[in-house]
Structure 1
Amino acid sequence: MPIPGMRGMEHVGFTVPDINEACDFFEKILGGVTLYTAATDFRVDDSDWMTEHLRVHPRSVITEFRYMRLGNGTNLEIFEYVSPDQNATPPKNSDIGGHHFAFYVDDMDSAIAFLKENDVVVLGEPTSYEEGPNIGLTWCYFMAPWGLQLEIVSAPNGTDFDNAAKAKGEMRLFNPANIKETLI
């Protein structure tokens, strides 16, 4: 049994070296909207609260964190920390804890052209699946200025998996292009 009442992902949280640079990038490149700043200079200097609750160094300081929305996707909780034991190197996908965020686009070629016009580093050329359940999906990685790995995906005609699941009335992969209601 899952957690009682669990409905889905509410947000993804991650740490960046410069919160202004990160939010500007998400706004300019991905059309994000900064909703609010949740806290500034959050610290607990007289106990190990930070370690007990957040598993960070006890003298860590959350200099700021903000909530953002990107289209019809989940919320982003973006942190900027200062910590005595901070590792400033983002993990690669192959590292334990490595990750990337993927964003659906309607037109892969237009999206890549936009990224390049805005001096965003694009990794290689778009790759289209030729076998397996993802036939119909094309993807391409790009990088945020501070090293966060990002991806754009597109499947204008659906994927083999999604089309078969839809035909059978089964659960499909989440796809923001299929959302009919926006939370504006």
Structure 2
Amino acid sequence: MIADVFHFSFTVSDLERSIRWYTEVLGLELVLRQRQDNDYTRTLVGIPDAVLEIAQLRIPGAPPRHSTHMLELVQYLRPAGDTVELRTTTVGVAHLALMVDDVHARHARMRAQGVVFRNPPVAIAEGANAGGFSCYFTDPDGITLELLQPSPARLAALGLAG
């Protein structure tokens, strides 16, 4: 049985740049930084000479459920990774949706910080999130992220309405 989500991870090209972006632009909090240069990691990732630099981040004020972090950023120091186009139509490409309480204000603030958005906040007209708003944007490596403002009805259904 799968009990819950522990964390998720993105491979990045420049860990320092990504830490700055995810903390300064998104407001996440750096929990831990570490280098993984050991047999366990090489076995886990299936790369005999792997050396990884890792940053673990969390949403400030969000109580931990099972882990101290929700996002892990990984830079492969050895072997260096390839840079590929991360189109949302490419099989295997994922995105992360972040719930916000005012998508329009967050969108405006992030645009002023130079974030490239695919679209302004759009009203969600159908499906489970109908009545909310959403927009897609990318991080410095082209990883797709989403800002999602749920509708009051969706928040109530999730037990989050105040």
* TM-score, normalisation: structure 2: 0.82
Alignment match, 2:128: 133
Which structure's CA Rg is the greater one? 1
Using the alignment, how far apart are the partners of 1:158 and 1:90 within structure 2? 37
The superposition leaves residues 58-116 of structure 1 with CA deviations (integer Å, 9 ceiling, x where unpaired) of 22221x11211124386111111034473212532211211111111111210111011
Alignment match, 2:32: 36
| Residue pairs, 1:121-160, within 5 angstroms | 121-159=116-154
CA RMSD across the alignment: 2.6
Is 1:61–2:51 an aligned residue pair?
yes
Is 1:119–2:111 an aligned residue pair?
no
- What percentage of residue pairs aligned between the two structures are identical? 24
Contact map agreement 2:51 2:79 (CA 8 A) in 1: no
Question: Which residue type is aligned with residue 28 of structure 2?
Answer: G
Out of 105, 111, 116, the position equivalent to 1:110 is 105
Sort the Cα spacing of 1:77 and 1:179 in 2 relative to 1 into closer, same or farther, 3 A: farther
Sort the Cα spacing of 1:49 and 1:76 in 2 relative to 1 into closer, same or farther, 3 A: closer
* TM-score, normalisation: structure 1: 0.73
Using the alignment, how far apart are the partners of 2:161 and 2:70 within structure 1? 15
Alignment match, 2:59: 70
Structure 1 runs of 4+ off > 4 angstroms?
none
Q: How many residues align?
A: 156
Out of 92, 95, 100, the position equivalent to 1:97 is 92
The superposition leaves residues 149-175 of structure 1 with CA deviations (integer Å, 9 ceiling, x where unpaired) of 11100024133xx65xx3xxxxx4xx8
Sort the Cα spacing of 1:36 and 1:11 in 2 relative to 1 into closer, same or farther, 3 A: same
Alignment match, 1:169: none
Using the alignment, how far apart are the partners of 2:161 and 2:35 within structure 1? 34
Q: Which runs of 5+ in 1 are unaligned?
A: 167-171
Sort the Cα spacing of 1:66 and 1:89 in 2 relative to 1 into closer, same or farther, 3 A: same
Measured after TM superposition, the shift of residue 119 of structure 1 is: 0.6
Q: With CA pairs under 8 Å and 6+ residues apart, which has the higher RCO, 1 or 2?
A: 2
